[in-house]
Amino acid sequence: MTGKKNFIIITIFLISAFLLPWYQKGVQCAPFGTFDINILGRGYAYFQPAPGEEKETLGETKINLTYSNTFRKGLFFKLSSRLQIDTDQQSEGALDSYKDNDRKRKIFDVNEGFIEHRLGRFDYFLGKRILSWGKGDHFNLSDKINPKDYTDFLDNEKMGILLAGVKLYPTRNSQLEACLIPFFTRSRIQFSDSRWAPCGQGFRIEEDIPDDAMQYASRYSLYLNNLDIDVTYMRKTEDLATCLIVPTPMIGSPDLYGPPGLVAQYRKMNLFSIEGATTMADQFELHAGAAYHDIDKNELYGQFIQYLLGINYTLEEKLPFSKSVKLIGEYLGDIDINKPENKKLIVLDFSRIFENSLFMRITSKLTDFSDFQIGNLFSLEKSFNDILRLEYTYNPNDKLEFKAGLDLIWGDDQLIFEQFEENDRMWISIKYLF
């Protein structure tokens, strides 16, 4: 019933968005906007079968459809949807909802559908949307508005969420943005029946979601000579759970306990961050920032600060096999301000998996139409934990894109990496843009 209701609301909203500009007297509207269609096919070959089955391959097809139009008077509309199927049945159902808390993806998924209206020094927007905040390339301290889809842990695409927001432009080099998120949407993780289930198979998992779903975020951005600054505040429920291990009392015998279960707790918190980006010595782009997290249930979680240091550098020298090489390096650190005493209950804190980690990506432009990329994410917290991706891209023209890659994962038994250690794989993808 709820699904139908959601569908009706979204349909009315979308129809209104289409019709609204036509009712503005004297305003000519673009009769057609921009339609973008692209088809993506991917195939994965894993080196080991998935838990509980012999399957070692996965195929998926995604058809992305995007319509956008800018009407007169600065009214912009965008609708982005996707048809997706795969051989692992990771997608099911055809109707989307604005909360989208289902464990499985939708076969027909509306990821974005919003209007944005520009009025002088003021914009407002409404609908399901993806926002990108923060200065980082891989780690982002304040880019926490949208949840992510971890159906494939290494893909982690952002999910659109329903929000209403405004942007104010007090000066030409500054902007203030604020948005209200009325519903809580968690990141999509399959806790079972998936090779990307983070807790192993067979765990009993209960979810603990705060009753107060309302969230809001604001950001002030300033663009000065050779310096960009973002100051962000948000009151948010983390979209990634912290898993606590809890004993299970046996029925009728309160002193006896069965096998422990897990509670996936989604924590409400205040986040305050400041980030900056600049260029130095005409060679480097540098960005840095710090984010203070104040978790509501601080007797268990306390407060902590995450900080980020990053660099971008492009080498244009003539190299033997490359036209240019681009390097991105980032370090994400984490400091406990108020360390909780009973932290041992936490078996998995998704939001702090990479609390002491390095990310590096080297992109080598081999020819005008191809490049080779090495991405490496490794944790310095424990022993050897590493995710390595090698990727080759070839664009014979503006419509076709071929990719081939290799993902390798190493991990110890203290971190989530260990769960995925058997997920090493090779993959290829073909994308066609109409």
Partner 1 sequence: MGKGELTIPLKRKRAVHSRRPHGLLFIIPLLLLFSTHPDAAHSALQSKGQEQQKRETGNKDQIDDPFKKGRSIMEEVERRAKSVSEHLFLTMIIRDSAGKERKRALEVWNEYNQDGRRKNLMRFTSPQMVRNTGLLSLEREAGEDDQWLYLPILRKSKRIAASAKTNEFVGTDFTFEDLSAENIDDFKYEFQGEQETGGHTCFVVKAIPLESRAKSTGYSERIIFIRKDIYAPVMIQHYDWDGKFYKKWLASDLVHVKDECWRANREEMIKVIENKCTILLIDRRISSDTLDNAIFTQRELTKEY
Enumerate binding residues for partner 1 (CB under 8 A): 34, 36, 38, 68, 70, 76, 78, 123, 130-134, 167, 169, 172-173, 175, 221, 223, 225-226, 228, 277-285, 312-314, 316, 324, 368, 395, 397-399, 401, 433-434
User: Please, which residue, 143 or 336, has the CB nearer to partner 1?
Assistant: 143
User: Please, which residue, 415 or 433, has the CB nearer to partner 1?
Assistant: 433
3-state SS assignment for residue 7: helix
With beta carbons less than 8 A apart as the criterion, state whether 313 and 330 touch.
no
Q: Rounded to the nearest whole angstrom, what is the least distance from the CB of residue 153 to partner 1 in the complex? A: 20
End-to-end Cα separation, the chain, in angstroms: 37
Task: DSSP letter for 397, please.
Answer: S
Q: Rounded to the nearest whole angstrom, what is the least distance from the CB of residue 130 to partner 1 in the complex? A: 6
| Residue 85 exposure: Cα atoms within 13 Å on the Cβ side | 2
Q: Rounded to the nearest whole angstrom, what is the least distance from the CB of residue 89 to partner 1 in the complex? A: 28
Nearest-10 Cα torsion for 90, 94, 95, 96 = 40
* DSSP letter string, 344-387: GGEEEEGGGTTTTEEEEEEEEE-SSSEEEEEEEEEESSSS-EEE
The identity of residue 428, as a single letter, is I
User: Please, which residue, 41 or 51, has the CB nearer to partner 1?
Assistant: 41
User: Please, which residue, 167 or 268, has the CB nearer to partner 1?
Assistant: 167
Q: Rounded to the nearest whole angstrom, what is the least distance from the CB of residue 66 to partner 1 in the complex? A: 9
User: Please, which residue, 54 or 368, has the CB nearer to partner 1?
Assistant: 368
Q: Cα 152 vs. chain centroid, distance in angstroms?
A: 12
Q: Rounded to the nearest whole angstrom, what is the least distance from the CB of residue 288 to partner 1 in the complex? A: 13
User: Please, which residue, 16 or 132, has the CB nearer to partner 1?
Assistant: 132
Q: Rounded to the nearest whole angstrom, what is the least distance from the CB of residue 342 to partner 1 in the complex? A: 39
* DSSP letter string, 80-134: EEEEEEETT--B--S---SS---SSBPSEEEEEEEEEEEETTEEEEEEEE----S
Report the 10 Å Cβ neighbour count for 412.
Answer: 14
User: Please, which residue, 204 or 323, has the CB nearer to partner 1?
Assistant: 323
Q: Rounded to the nearest whole angstrom, what is the least distance from the CB of residue 262 to partner 1 in the complex? A: 34
